[in-house]
Amino acid sequence: MLPLFYQAHLQQCLSPRHYLLVNLLVLLLQWHKQVRLERLAATLPLPIRFEGRRRCLQRLFSSPQLHIDTLWLPLVGYLLSCQFRVGQTLYLVLDRTQ
């Protein structure tokens, strides 16, 4: 289950269909822990064929609603503001090996 601030932000940024699909994906990833598109499509509980589920996931992942600027950076900013005070030193490490 997602924390309340994630739920509120995702509901504002995503369409109802995409919001439900993201919730299903979070539950699937907590259980299966594999991120291959075919594996996610095979385990996604939707009443459509495998190819339809795979296309549905591809459309979701290529959606402009999931862009980093509009969806993820506000969440990171909120988390940082909750964990750190203004003026406190924050060290950020980026791994660019992949």
Q: Domain for residue 19, yes or no?
A: yes
Asked if residue 20 is part of any domain, the answer here is: yes
- What is the domain extent for residue 73? 4-83
97 within domain boundaries: no
pLDDT band at 10 (very low <50, low <70, confident <90, very high): very high
Domain count, the chain: 1
Instruction: For tokens 């439900």, name the residue.
Output: 20
Q: The whole model's pTM is what?
A: 0.76
Q: What number is the average pLDDT over the span 80-92?
A: 87
DSSP the chain: ---HHHHHHHHHHS-HHHHHHHHHHHHHHHHH----HHHHHHH---SS-HHHHHHHHHHHHT-GGG-IIIIIHHHHHHHHHHHS-TT-----------
